Every structure is written in structure tokens, then in C-alpha cells.
Amino acid sequence: MSRRGGGAARGSNLETLFSGLPIEDDSQYTVELKRIVLDNDFLNKEREIENYLLNQQNQYRFAAFYSLLIVCREYNNYSKYNEYVDKYANQFHQVKLYKIVMSTYYRNKGILGDLGAYRNAIRFAEEACTMLPDNLAVKHHFAELIVLADEEGANVHVETINKAIERLDDVMDANPYHAKYYCTLGRLFASLGDYNQGMKNVKKALDFERGDNKDSLIRIGQYNYYLLQIKMLIENDKVDSKMGKFNSDFEQMENDLDGMKTQYLEYLAFFSSVLAFVLITVNIVISVDDFNKCAGIVLMFAGALVVVFGVFRMLLYYSSKIKFGILKTIFSYVIGLLLLIAGFIIGNQLYVYWL
């Protein structure tokens, strides 16, 4: 009996606390509910709150449900949050904050590794902004979700990031001294590559954060983490820039080396051809008594060398991907063919018939 009476008393206490809340559509609803959760040690009363939620006769069951979600968020217990959503969320689909609940549900899935879930998280957040256009917490949730998805690599469009900044500007106009808003804004600017504005706003968040309680000290640690993250992005960009310059220089060096190698092979082939021409010419002069035949063979051999050397040069330049003058190549082929024809005519004394 005493246990039932104690449970009823605890339920009555929760009823009293929840009865002072504004309606769910009010922008202060989640703010006031979080204050109740933190001020009344709800972090250690999950079983009691869930028992209240299970009683269908209780009037403020959604407040109990949302309190459990706040407890999970405070502990960053993403899996437990999603367990509560799976168990109870469908009972409150008519409440406008249901959209935020589901957005956070899919955000948690994204954090736990399912990057595709961020699309659903953003969709529900958009719907929540449409249904609760004056709710500052909803707008900040959207902005924070966008920057988180981008940081996690979910490929968020620049237009969506700019939309998040616009909505966050509305929130900050209404509450210009809220430290966390500046941190989120700084992260959004960093996502766009504006690291100076990013660092400036995160530093402003550190300046505005009071640091007079445990939650505030935790947030200060988070702000310092994001500040360090932005500094790392700056250094990464510097490294990428230097690597890009190095790659460009290396590519130029590689092209220069290819050119030098090609020229070396070209010179080697040329002098080898000259040496072969000299040696064969000497042998022909010694072996052949007829001047016309000797001259014809020498000219034809010279023409063949010119044509073969031209083909070799063209293939060499093509394989090394170096540009070569097509007109020069054609000219060398023409000279080679003329030498071949001249050698054939002289060697066979065909010019006698023309004279």
C-alpha cells in the first residue's frame, strides 16, 4: 500500500510541475520543460517519469515523454533516445513538436553512422520550421542539424547552409547574447570556408558563456573543440594548397624530364643514323665500281634513313605525350621520298631517257 501511495505522490508531483508549462506550440515550452528537468533532478528519475508516461489517464504525458528525450540529450545517449521514440512517439504524432522529435531521431541515426538518415532529419526539421515559424529553438535545431550533417560528410548544398544562417540570424536578433547560437553560426561559416568569421563567432560564444555551472563548463569545452576544429581546417587548406603547388611543380618537372629523355633518344638515333650512313656509304663506294649505281644506292639509303628517322621521331613524341611539329615531320617525309626517287632514277640511269 505504501508503495502505491508513494508512486501516486511522485506522479502528483510531476503533474504539478508539468501543469505550469505553456502550451506545446509556445516557443518557450521546450525551454521551460528543460529548466524543470534540470532543476528537479530528472536526470536520475527516468523510471519515475516513464511510469507517469505509461499511465494513459495522466494529463501531461507528452511532457513526460519529452522530458525523457531531454534526459537522453543531456547524456548524449543517442540509442536510448531512439528507443523512447520507437516506443512512444506514434502516440503524439498530432503534436507539432513531433516533427522535431523525429528530426532528432534521424539525426541520431546519422551520428551513429547512417549518413543517409540526415536527409530525413533535415526534412522533418524543415516541416517543423514551417509548422512553428516563431519557435526559436526549432530554428536553431535546423541550423545546428545542417552544420552537423555537413561536418559528418552528408554532402549538404551551399544553399541549405545559407538558409540555415538566415534562420539563425532571426534567432540571434531575438536573443543576441545566447552563446550557443554564436557557436553554431561560427560552424556554419566554417562550412562555407569563411574561417575568419567562423573563429570570430566561436570566440564570441566563449566570451558570452557564463561558466557558472556544470552544463556551461561542458559547453565551453565544446566551443574550444570547435575552435580547434576550425584551426585544423585552416591548416588543412594550407597543406592542400602546398600539395597542389607541389603537384603542379612535379608535373612540370615530369614533363621537362620527358622532354629531355625524348631529346636524348632523338639525338642518339640521329647520330646512330649518321654513323650507319657513313659506314655503309664507305662500303658501297669500295664495293661498287659503277658511279651511277653507287650514287643511287647512297641516295636511296639516305632517303630510307630520313623516312625511318621521321617515323621514329613521331612515335617517340607520341609515346611521351610531347607536342611535335606536324609540318616538320611532313617536310622530312617529303625529303626522304625525294631522295628515294632520286636514288632510284640515278641508279637505274633513267635520266638518260629524259635527256
How many angstroms separate the CA atoms of 355 and 346, rounded? 13
Task: Provide the residue-wise pLDDT of the chain in tens; the chain has 355 residues.
Answer: 333 334 444 556 899 999 999 999 898 999 999 999 989 989 889 999 999 999 999 999 999 999 999 999 988 999 999 999 999 999 999 999 999 999 999 999 999 999 999 999 999 999 999 999 999 999 999 999 999 999 999 989 999 999 999 999 999 999 999 999 999 999 999 999 999 999 999 999 999 998 888 778 889 999 999 999 999 999 988 887 778 777 777 777 776 676 676 666 666 766 676 677 667 767 766 776 777 777 777 777 777 777 777 777 676 666 655 555 677 677 777 887 887 787 777 767 654 444 4
How many angstroms separate the CA atoms of 162 and 258, rounded? 47
How many angstroms separate the CA atoms of 273 and 303, rounded? 11
CA distances to 19, 273, 298 from 286, in Å: 123, 20, 12
Contact 51, 11 (CB under 8 A): yes
* Long-range contacts, 78-85 (Cβ 8 Å, 24+): 78/108, 78/111, 78/112, 79/108, 79/112, 81/105, 81/108, 82/108, 82/109
What are the extents of the domains in the chain?
Answer: 2-242, 252-354
Structural fold of domain 2-242: 1.25.40
pTM: 0.69
